[in-house]
Structure 1
């Protein structure tokens, strides 16, 4: 099926653990008039529910990279945005796209302080009660979902798969820096929010960091702010 091309810049939205292509719906509604919105999705969820979840971060990066290349319209600029797991994957995806000589104009990372900061024991194989207690403590699931047992049952295998993917010790974040500018945002009550300037060590370009009110899911209350940030970054990049 042929894609309809557009002159609008592209934005690739990378979902968090347990998320899918619909995780950013309010943000998409704010941005769709200005961007071609691309929503790569990992197997085991959403439109790819029938596919087995990936268990290796390298496989996840390769999978999303293939989706980006397939939908990338090279005559327009683009930006990569990822939240939490999406930010972890997005950092290495920026590096991969730089090697393809098709770097994004900016990388927006939210809900993650950059490589080398988080030091938490693996949780993917914990019993259900302990697992969800740790997920909640890490800010990996919203309070709304925690209230409904049927939702926990639905999300449990997906969350276990995503956390297991990230906890796999054979594929930790490589010692790299990207050439792409970074804009990082975290919620004030996130455990590692005060470490957000760590991102500056991982780019050769500019790095701006902000802390806003909220927890790990501050994005749900701050989509207007995030959409304005993204529009401003793209406008600044394209007028240079």
Structure 2
């Protein structure tokens, strides 16, 4: 039986590695999300960056593995996988819960004296703001209603009872991770940080997104887009351009 490396277990690549010193962009899905959600972004960036997408346990090809419902534990596992990938400039991009995980990975890498070229945090309030939501404690109907409200998952999935049974544990576990996450104060990042948010996001105000600036001593930029929590879908071209310019010194 062949052995699967930690890199192959945790990271998905949807295109060939580009030539030269193009940056490596590691993407972190939202709560309930899977690596395939980033396939359009990876395709759009294929000629300009190597895109690797994190696949959390408990979904798709990892659906039989135990869920990790703690952001700090999840980030440490991913840090161990990403830390050796130092042959290209490393850019981290996380949306919603994925932004919290990406931030904690950037923090852990910095603690190991490993430099991140750029951190992008999307659709997530700055970590110093506590999360008091309790979606993970709702019954199945309540969890489904929340996911439908945010429009982050194809609603047709919830018309198929078998699919619902498959995806709900991962969604609930991720919501538990996102909603119980607490920022642990420590040294700020030194890398550039860009925060992206929708101007009508029910989960994050523009002020809460802007306050990511407090988490780095490096350059900070805030980009506000029209739209709600999943504004990325309608503004994918602009996001691709931002990531394309995320090289050291950009």
1:128 aligns with 2:140: yes
After superposition, the Cα gap between the structure-2 partners of 1:53 and 1:229, relative to the gap in structure 1 and judged at 3 Å, is: same
What is the alpha-carbon root mean square deviation over aligned residues?
2.5
Which of residues 108, 111, 114 is equivalent to 2:126? 114
- What CA deviation, in whole Å up to 9, does each residue of 1:199-232 have, x standing for no partner? 1111111110011011111112221111100112
1:11 aligns with 2:25: yes
- 3-state DSSP of counterpart to 1:23: helix
Match of 1:175 in 2: 185
Per-residue deviation at 1:83? 0.5
Alignment gaps of 5+ in structure 1: none
Cα separation, 1, equivalents of 2:249 and 2:128: 32
Match of 1:198 in 2: 211
1:154 aligns with 2:166: yes
- 3-state DSSP of counterpart to 1:211: strand
Per-residue deviation at 1:135? 3.9
- What CA deviation, in whole Å up to 9, does each residue of 1:1-27 have, x standing for no partner? 899975332111111111111111111
Within-5 A mapping of 1:1-240: 7=20, 8-70=22-84, 72=85, 74-117=86-129, 119-137=131-149, 139=150, 141-142=152-153, 144-145=155-156, 148-150=159-161, 151-168=163-180, 172-176=182-186, 177-191=188-202, 192-195=204-207, 196-234=209-247, 237=248
Cα separation, 1, equivalents of 2:154 and 2:227: 13
Cα separation, 2, equivalents of 1:141 and 1:232: 26
After superposition, the Cα gap between the structure-2 partners of 1:180 and 1:64, relative to the gap in structure 1 and judged at 3 Å, is: same
After superposition, the Cα gap between the structure-2 partners of 1:140 and 1:201, relative to the gap in structure 1 and judged at 3 Å, is: farther
Per-residue deviation at 1:162? 0.6
After superposition, the Cα gap between the structure-2 partners of 1:161 and 1:218, relative to the gap in structure 1 and judged at 3 Å, is: same
TM-score, length-scaled by structure 2: 0.83
Per-residue deviation at 1:35? 1.3
- What CA deviation, in whole Å up to 9, does each residue of 1:72-97 have, x standing for no partner? 1x232110000111101111111111
Per-residue deviation at 1:172? 1.5
Bigger shift: residues 205-214 or 148-157: 148-157
Bigger shift: residues 89-98 or 110-119: 110-119
Per-residue deviation at 1:116? 2.8
- The total of aligned residue pairs comes to 232
Bigger shift: residues 78-87 or 144-153: 144-153
TM-score, length-scaled by structure 1: 0.86
- 3-state DSSP of counterpart to 1:124: helix
